[in-house]
Amino acid sequence: MEKPEQAYQQAMNTRRQALKTLGLTGSGFFILPSALRGAEAPSKRVNIAMIGTGRQGIQVNMASFLGMANVRVIAVCDVDRLRLAYAKSLVDQAYENKDCQSFTDFREAFELPGLDAVMISTPDHWHAIQSLMAMKKGLHVCCEKAMTCHFEEGRALADAAKKSGVVFRLDSECRSNAYMIKTADLVLNGYLGKIRRFEVGVPHEMGEGFGNPAPMPVPAHLDYEMWLGPAPERPYTLDRVHQTDLKSGAPVGRPGWLRIPDYAAGMINNWGGHLIDVANFINGTGHSGPVRIEGTGTFPEPGVLWNTITGFEVRYAYANGVQLDYKIDKPYLRIEGDDGWIQAHWHSEGGLQAHDRKIFSTRFRDSDKRVPTRSDKQDFIEAILNGSDVMINAEAGHRVNSQCLLGLAAIKSGKALEWDPVAEKITNHPEAAAHMTGTYRDPWDLKTFI
């Protein structure tokens, strides 16, 4: 089996090459090999549409798919016409043609003949409706995390994915990280003994200030009504939505919607979907969840635009006696067992740490089970082509998403919550569930798409 470090490096090299191809790093464009231009195209290939062409959608997701020989990006979709034109130009240049289709309405993109799958990189408040509609069309779905804004959306997605039989993958690359793979291999095969405790850190919001709430004229290039979609009606302001380079059409910086509860729950959900998922996988609770949740947190002063949670400490207890402590810090996963501990850092300094670094030189036994070493996008495409299971299916995605929402509900309610992971109900303070739900603006209604 390929070593985790080799697999991760190969995935990163593919992504870097694709970024070069798109002209997103350095200067100038690079030409893709002829195999990617059709002359030697494989017989088994996935045609995909990019739904949402913002920072994450282009620089991470589209770049990765354009670097894969068994994938063809055939369409892009965005309510921002400048971003849409920019994304189309990048795809056309990568394939050296003008074939990429472009749409401002995702429903039209879903009707494209020959389409197999969609990559949903829109704001979180759109994920549920777009994913449900895609699966009803028989399309495979790779959906950015956080998976959904509300609990009932995630439950609906998990049920629909199981019923439809299409591939649904929550798009986190964390399980494909070399440090996480190494940690999982050691822990799952008993090299730390019985697991007692997890600790997960996620970063602070990336950006200063609290946004400018002053209403502004809607830019001519943006369909703001469609951008809002099911979210409450609010006046347009740049810091509510996103910034686009008016000359090139390229996304600029981190979008403001990530810090507004109408569209996202903040870092407690956004990064929790990465690192708590790995903890749940190792703990064997990827399709269940905790049984008790308590926490404290801080929020901005009332009246500011960017008002998602800014600091928190949450403690989860599982039925197997394991505890998980979750907080704002730097991104890392720490696992403590009877025989020692390992701490794996992600996108931060620290690398791999342990009670004894010799553990990282462990020679695995032939009988040891090893975790997959595929990249996140390879995982999705191979599941479509080969019928294999994805690392993070809709059920696992819903469970980690609801776990983060439960942490937020415990903080907002000020109560320690008892959770039944089978019935998926708060059993001691049912009123706290109101912090995990939301409303829809006409004509959008979740029930219409279930």
What superfamily does domain 177-206+265-374+393-449 belong to in CATH? Answer: Dihydrodipicolinate Reductase; domain 2 (3.30.360.10)
Q: How far apart are CA 392 and CA 172, in angstroms?
A: 8
Reply yes or no on whether the pLDDT at 27 is more than 60.
Answer: no
Q: Is the pLDDT of residue 128 over 70?
A: yes
Q: Give the pLDDT of residue 1.
A: 43
Distance CA 436, CA 401 (A): 10
pLDDT value of position 367? 96
Residue 26: burial class (beta carbons within 10 Å; 0-12, 13-18, 19+): exposed
The domain locations on the chain are: 4-174, 177-206+265-374+393-449
**CA distance linking residue 307 with residue 301, whole number of Å:** 8
Are 269 and 401 in contact, with CB atoms under 8 Å apart? yes
Altogether, the residues listed in the chain come to a count of 450
pLDDT at 337 over 90: yes
C-beta separation of 335 from 195 below 8 A: yes
User: Residue 225: phi, psi to the nearest 5?
Assistant: -60, -40
| Cα–Cα distance, 147 to 397 (Å, whole number) | 7
Asked whether residue 274 carries a pLDDT value surpassing 60, the answer given is yes
* Predicted local distance difference test score (pLDDT) of residue 39: 35
Instruction: For 57-96, write each residue's pLDDT tens digit.
Output: 999 999 999 999 999 999 999 999 999 999 999 999 999 9
pLDDT band for position 445 (cuts 50, 70, 90): confident
- Mean pLDDT, rounded, for 17-26: 48
| Average pLDDT of the residues in 124-135 | 97
Compute the distance between CA of residue 267 and CA of residue 299 in angstroms, rounded to an integer. Answer: 12
pLDDT in tens, 227-245: 999 999 999 999 999 999 9
pLDDT the model gives residue 449: 81
pLDDT of residue 450: 76
DSSP bridge pairs for 102: 76
Q: What is the 3-state secondary structure (H, E, C) of the chain?
A: CCCHHHHHHHHHHHHHHHHHHHCCCCCCCCCCCHHHCCCCCCCCCEEEEEECCCHHHHHHHHHHHHCCCCEEEEEEECCEHHHHHHHHHHHHHHHCCCCCEEECCHHHHCCCCCCCEEEECCCHHHHHHHHHHHHHCCCEEEEECCCCCCHHHHHHHHHHHHHHCCCEEEECCHHHCHHHHHHHHHHHCCCCCCEEEEEEEECCCCCCCCCCCCCCCCCCCECHHHHHCCCCCCCCCHHHCCEECCCCCCEECCCHHHHCCCCCCCHHHHCHHHHHHHHHHHHCCCCCCCCEEEEEEECCCCCCCCCCCCEEEEEEECCCCCEEEEEECCCEEEEEECCEEEEEECCCCCCEEECCHHHHHCCCCCCCCCCCCCCHHHHHHHHHHHCCCCCCCHHHHHHHHHHHHHHHHHHHHCCCEEEECCCCEECCCHHHHHHHCCCCCCCCCHHHHC
Query: Tokens for 331?
Result: 């991104």
Tell me, letter by letter, the H, E, C secondary structure of 344-374: EECCCCCCEEECCHHHHHCCCCCCCCCCCCC
Angle between helices 394-413 and 272-283 (to 10 degrees): 110
| Cα–Cα distance, 143 to 126 (Å, whole number) | 10
What is d(CA 171, CA 277) in angstroms, rounded to the nearest whole number? 11
Statement: residue 324 has pLDDT above 50:
yes
CB atoms within 10 A of CB 175: 21
Whole-number Å distance between alpha carbons of 198 and 180:
13
pLDDT top residue among 372 and 264: 264
Note the pLDDT tens digit of each residue in 157-215: 999 999 999 999 999 999 999 999 999 999 999 999 999 999 999 999 877 899 999 99
Q: What residues contact 71, with CB distance under 8 A and at least 6 apart?
A: 45, 46, 48, 65, 377, 381
pLDDT at 20: 52
Q: What pLDDT does residue 345 have?
A: 97
How far is 29 from 27, CA to CA, in rounded Å? 7
* 373-385 pLDDT per residue, tens: 999 999 999 999 9
Residue 23 — very low, low, confident or very high, per pLDDT cuts 50/70/90? Answer: low
CATH architecture of 4-174: 3-Layer(aba) Sandwich (3.40)
pTM of the model: 0.90
pLDDT > 60? residue 153: yes
Burial of 302 (0-12, 13-18, 19+ CB in 10 A): exposed
On whether the CB atoms of residues 91 and 117 are closer than 8 A, the answer is no
What pLDDT score does 448 carry? 84
> Residue 214: what are its φ and ψ, rounded to 5°?
-65, 125
Of 166, 110, 112, which is closest to residue 138 (Cα–Cα)? 166
Task: Indicate the average pLDDT of the chain.
Answer: 91
